[in-house]
Structure formats: C-alpha cells, structure tokens
C-alpha cells in the first residue's frame, strides 16, 4: 500500500507455516508457485509463467533486512529455467540458472556484472548455488502480475483454492526495493476476491489511512484487476474513499 508509516507486525513464521501446510507433494519439475531457499532464512522466490516465459520475484521478509528483486526469463526445458535478476538497488546485473538435480532445486549465478563498474556487489556471487524447495504450487487458473499507480507489483496466484497475493513496494525512492507484504484470500464464482487476510505485514508503511478492500478480477483468460475500497478513514475520522483514487483507481496487468 502507499508508503508512509504502517504499524510493524512480525508475522514472518505465518507465511512459512501456511505455505508448508499447503504443499505436500514431492515434485521435481520447476513449476509455478512459491519457493523457499533452504540456506537463506526468510528468503523466497515466486515464479509465474506464460508459456515458456517466466517472471517473478526473489525476496526476503527478514524484519531487519527486507528486500525484493524482480526476475524474468525463460524455461529452457522441464528441469532448467534461466532468469535475469536486475537488482536496481544493488549495483549489479546477474543471470541465474534454476535447475533440478536428482533430489534438489538449485539456483546458481552464471553471470554477474557490477553496475556501475567497480561496485563490488558481484564479489558475493552465487556460483556455488543455493538449494530451494517448493512450498506453494500455483495450481489454479488465476496467475498474474499487476502494477499499481503507486508502483507496487502484485504477484497473484491460486493454490489449493486459496488466493495468494504478494505485494512488492518501493521505500523512499524507486531504487529502494524494501517493502514486502503477503495476503491470502478467497475467490468466488463472480471472480470477486474477498476475505483478504494479511499474513506478512510490511516493515514500514502507513496506518494513518485505514480501509477495507476487495479485488475484482475480470476473467481468467486475460485477468484485469480492480481494487474496490470501503469504510475509509484517517486518524479515526471517516474519509471519502474517492480521495484515494490517485492510488487505487487503476491497476495494470504486466504479466
């Protein structure tokens, strides 16, 4: 949501607990969904695909070091996906290869270029690889990435009948990828997403403006999203929700 000063809530374990309870199969194909890096606490990856094209986010919900990077790439085959990871706030451009072996998924850096030259960020490379594992499979029809008027990216997918929505927002500038939040919700037959529950709260933001919301999806072939607000208030006083139109009146599907 628009950045200002949301009250801090530490709900990091909730996402992991919910995720692990939702995934019980043992698949070694790289599929759409949410993954957890085994050796990097509180670090996840969400990947969604259209055909062989892949887009998603690698992110940390560590309360002391929250960050996110947007990745995009292509599936080479059932066992290999290659993505570019342009860390806007980190001074580097990195290519990653996501592969499966007989027992694991492994993410390895195949190229890393300091940008600008000499930033030194690539000194901490992932050439050795990090193991990761699926925690929530995107097994429903709804899979999309949206962008809001305030610049947030929203990765949304359905897993075992539950809508999962991950918000990736900027901090004080467009190179500060520092705000992550996560929600679960229900999708009804009219494609209205409601009963939205926050399971990971942003580490900073604004609790001065409070509102209820639902998300209306247009269709499942080319899903467009509308955010509908109600019961808006600020500082305990009622607020006309139309005053928030500059943030919420338009949402663009970008993947």
The domain locations on the chain are 1-255
Quote the percentage of the chain above a pLDDT of 70.
83
Q: Determine the average pLDDT of the residues in 194-222.
A: 86
Residue 122 binned pLDDT confidence (cut-offs 50, 70, 90): confident
The pLDDT tens digits for 138-168 are 999 999 999 999 899 999 999 999 999 999 9
Residues 6 or more apart whose Cβ sits within 8 Å of residue 94: 84, 85, 86, 87, 109, 111, 112, 113, 122, 126
Grouping H, G, I as helix, E, B as strand and the rest as coil, residue 246 is: helix
For residues 203 and 10, give the distance between their C-alpha atoms in angstroms, rounded to a whole number: 8
User: How much is the pLDDT for 94?
Assistant: 86
The pLDDT tens digits for 3-53 are 333 333 334 444 555 554 454 444 557 899 999 998 888 999 999 999 999
pLDDT above 50 (res 245): yes
Of the chain, the end-to-end C-alpha distance in Å amounts to 20
């Amino acid at each position: 949501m628009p950045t200002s000063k949301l009250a801090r809530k530490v709900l990091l374990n909730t996402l992991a607990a919910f995720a692990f309870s939702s995934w019980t199969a043992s698949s070694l194909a790289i599929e759409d969904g949410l993954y957890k890096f085994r050796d990097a606490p509180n670090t996840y990856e969400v990947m969604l695909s259209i055909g062989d094209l892949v887009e998603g986010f690698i992110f940390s919900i560590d309360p002391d070091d929250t960050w996110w990077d947007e990745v995009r790439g292509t599936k080479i085959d059932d066992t290999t996906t290659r993505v570019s990871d342009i860390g806007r706030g980190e001074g580097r451009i990195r290519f990653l290869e996501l592969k499966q072996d007989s027992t694991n998924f492994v993410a390895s850096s195949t190229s890393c270029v300091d940008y600008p030259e000499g930033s030194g960020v690539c000194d901490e490379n992932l050439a050795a690889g990090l193991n990761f594992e699926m925690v929530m499979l995107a097994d429903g029809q709804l899979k999309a990435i949206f962008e809001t008027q305030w610049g947030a990216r929203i990765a949304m997918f359905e897993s075992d009948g539950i809508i999962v929505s991950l918000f990736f927002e900027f901090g004080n500038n467009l190179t500060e990828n520092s705000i992550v939040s996560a929600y679960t919700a229900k999708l009804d037959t009219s494609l209205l997403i409601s009963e939205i529950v926050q399971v990971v709260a942003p580490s900073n933001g604004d609790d001065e403006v409070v509102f209820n919301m639902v998300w209306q999806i247009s269709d499942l072939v080319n899903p467009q999203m509308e955010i509908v607000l109600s019961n808006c208030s600020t500082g305990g006083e009622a607020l006309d929700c139309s005053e928030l139109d500059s943030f919420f009146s338009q949402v663009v599907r970008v993947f």
